[in-house]
């Protein structure tokens, strides 16, 4: 039965008519007891199924409601209706699943994104989220294809780990110990020897450290998996659970790292543009309508397609953190106090408004910043000869700011140990990591890209909770 189903997207892409077909999907609308708008998720476009008067009995007609799932068999014929080349003239319609029209929350009308987040398990059936998650799929596929075609090994790094790669401490603890009555030592600390793993463990914040181990054997590896941050940030840009892409490459310096990251970003955007143009055009139109409701000074200068082409068609501008600080400090924007966070001294951590100014106002192209102050960067980044900066790089994109963060890693054992001591990172807990510096160390580099940030950028959505199927954030772990 189901092997005979043809996807609606395939039928609509063809001009062929006068043949039998079977379609299955969910009813969007049912007009005049004859015209069914049917969608199966393969495209935002609906297939019009025509049920001639007299084909169905009254009880069956009443079951064809918005949200109901049906199977329709008939002949594909030219359509006389507007906006569609073909339609299916049904000879048989079967109800596969009923939908109570009084209770189904997705009626044929405009729904707010806030409302749709509350019913995230059903929002896939809307045009907006259908387009978003088809694009998300395309980007994920493109990521694997990009690295596979270049000989990288896909490494599955652990989700449960005893290390904190970022040193931020914002981790979700994993334990089987009871919440009450857990034994503590004389210092009041929990004794994790009785726990499942025999030590304190948490959900990973990054697969980077483990990926470095792989790079020291395979030369090029990448991870692509879920990561977790117990950061109490209720913003449109933060999630407690998100996906990260983290390549690690042996025999590579900072320039190699920047080249790889720029090629990577352009590749996956181009893949989506070539394979999901219909979805992107829909999302571009949706964004344009949304922009009209904003005050003029808050509107984006570029439409979605223009923004994506802007990234594809421009070589990313490269400059140091120090050069960026000088530009920002001397800008009229800073002098007229238009920045929420004034730029007054070298060493500050740049905010999104500063990053967007560099990209959208000053250079008018994507930007790669390098050589950040070591005090605001992680312990594993390679120290530069000036003693003040590290060989780090961030890629800044229009409309969103930082989209990639990476660095050349510190391969020199003595300097790495010294930096870990300065940052109070216990070397005994990372003894396995230090072995990569003891046995056959070499220069290597890598970066991390938050997948949801990338999907946000490509789809033009404005809230990161709308580009992951089931968002996790403070006080919310539904579904």
DSSP letter string over 390-455?
A: EEEEEEEETTTEEEEEEEEB---HHHHHHHHHHTT--GGGGHHHHHHHHSS---EEEEEEEHHHHH
**What pLDDT does 184 receive?**
76
**What pLDDT does 233 receive?**
83
* Run means of pLDDT, 10 residues per run, the chain, 479 residues: 85 93 97 95 96 92 96 95 89 96 91 92 96 98 98 97 72 88 75 88 94 97 96 86 97 98 98 98 94 79 91 96 96 93 94 93 95 95 96 93 95 96 89 95 97 96 95 89
**What pLDDT does 1 receive?**
56
Give the span between the Cα atoms of 430 and 439, in whole angstroms.
15
**What pLDDT does 167 receive?**
59
Residue with tokens 């019009």: 48
**What pLDDT does 82 receive?**
77
**What pLDDT does 166 receive?**
64
**What pLDDT does 19 receive?**
96
Structure tokens at 122: 């059903």
Classify residue 112 by burial, with Cβ atoms within 10 Å: 0-12, 13-18, 19+: exposed
* CATH topology classification for 125-170+205-466: BirA Bifunctional Protein; domain 2 (3.30.930)
Residue with tokens 């049917």: 38
Residue with tokens 């955007």: 269
CATH 2.40.50.140 residue window(s) in the chain = 2-106
**What pLDDT does 238 receive?**
86
Strands 47-50 and 444-450: unpaired
% helix / strand / coil in the chain, to the nearest 5? Answer: 35, 25, 40
Long-range contacts from 79-84, C-beta under 8 angstroms, 24+ separation: 79/48, 81/48, 84/12, 84/45, 84/48
**What pLDDT does 186 receive?**
73
Structure tokens at 325: 């600080």
Give domain 2-106's CATH architecture.
Beta Barrel (2.40)
CATH 3.30.930.10 residue window(s) in the chain = 125-170+205-466
Three-state DSSP class for residue 329: helix
**What pLDDT does 108 receive?**
86
Q: Which of 243, 254, 239 is nearest to 207 (CA)?
A: 243
Backbone angles phi, psi at 261, to 5 degrees: -65, -40
Do the beta carbons of residue 228 and residue 205 sit within 8 Å?
A: yes
> Is pTM, for the whole model, over 0.85?
yes
CA angle in degrees (0–180, nearest 5) for 173-170-178 = 20
């Amino acid at each position: 039965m189901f092997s005979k189903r043809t996807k609606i997207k395939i039928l609509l892409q063809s001009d062929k008519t006068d043949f039998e077909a079977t379609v299955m999907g969910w009813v969007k609308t049912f007009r005049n007891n004859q015209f069914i708008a049917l969608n199966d998720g393969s495209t935002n476009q609906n297939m019009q199924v025509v049920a001639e008067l007299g084909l169905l009995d009254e009880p069956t007609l009443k079951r064809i409601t918005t949200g109901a799932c049906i199977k329709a068999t008939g002949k594909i014929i030219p359509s006389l209706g507007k906006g569609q080349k073909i339609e299916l003239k049904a000879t048989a319609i079967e109800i596969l699943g009923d939908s109570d029209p009084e209770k189904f929350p997705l009626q044929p009308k405009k729904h707010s994104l806030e409302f749709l987040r509350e019913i995230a398990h059903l929002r896939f059936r809307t045009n907006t989220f259908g387009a978003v998650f088809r694009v998300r799929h395309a980007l994920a596929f493109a990521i694997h294809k990009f690295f596979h075609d270049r000989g990288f090994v896909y490494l599955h790094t652990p989700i449960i780990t005893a290390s904190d790669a970022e040193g931020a401490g914002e981790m979700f603890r994993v334990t089987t110990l009871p919440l009450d009555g857990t034994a503590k030592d004389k210092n009041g600390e929990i004794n994790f020897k009785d726990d499942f793993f025999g030590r304190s463990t948490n959900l990973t914040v990054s697969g980077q450290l483990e990926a470095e181990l792989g790079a020291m054997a395979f030369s090029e590896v990448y991870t692509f998996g879920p990561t977790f941050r117990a950061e109490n940030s209720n913003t449109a840009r933060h999630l407690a659970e998100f996906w990260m892409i983290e390549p690690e490459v042996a025999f590579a310096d900072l320039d190699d790292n920047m080249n790889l990251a720029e090629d990577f970003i352009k590749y996956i955007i181009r893949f989506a543009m070539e394979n999901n143009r219909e979805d992107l055009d829909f999302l571009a139109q949706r964004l344009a309508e949304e922009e009209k409701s904003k005050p003029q000074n808050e509107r984006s200068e570029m439409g979605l397609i223009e923004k994506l082409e802007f990234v594809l068609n421009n070589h990313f501008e490269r400059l140091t953190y120090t050069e960026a600080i000088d530009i920002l400090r001397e800008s009229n924007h800073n002098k007229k106090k238009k920045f929420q966070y004034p730029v007054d001294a070298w060493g500050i951590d740049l905010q999104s408004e500063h990053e967007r100014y560099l990209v959208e106002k000053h250079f008018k192209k994507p930007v790669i910043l390098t050589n950040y102050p070591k005090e605001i960067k992680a312990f594993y980044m390679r120290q530069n000869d000036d003693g003040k900066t590290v060989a780090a790089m961030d890629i800044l994109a229009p409309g969103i700011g930082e989209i990639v963060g990476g660095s050349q890693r510190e391969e020199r054992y003595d300097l790495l140990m010294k930096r870990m001591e300065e940052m109070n990172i216990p070397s005994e807990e990372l003894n396995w990591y230090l072995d990569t510096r003891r046995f056959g160390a070499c220069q290597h580099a890598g970066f991390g890209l938050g997948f949801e940030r990338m999907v946000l950028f490509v789809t033009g959505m404005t809230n990161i909770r709308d580009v992951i199927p089931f968002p996790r954030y403070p006080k919310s772990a539904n579904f």
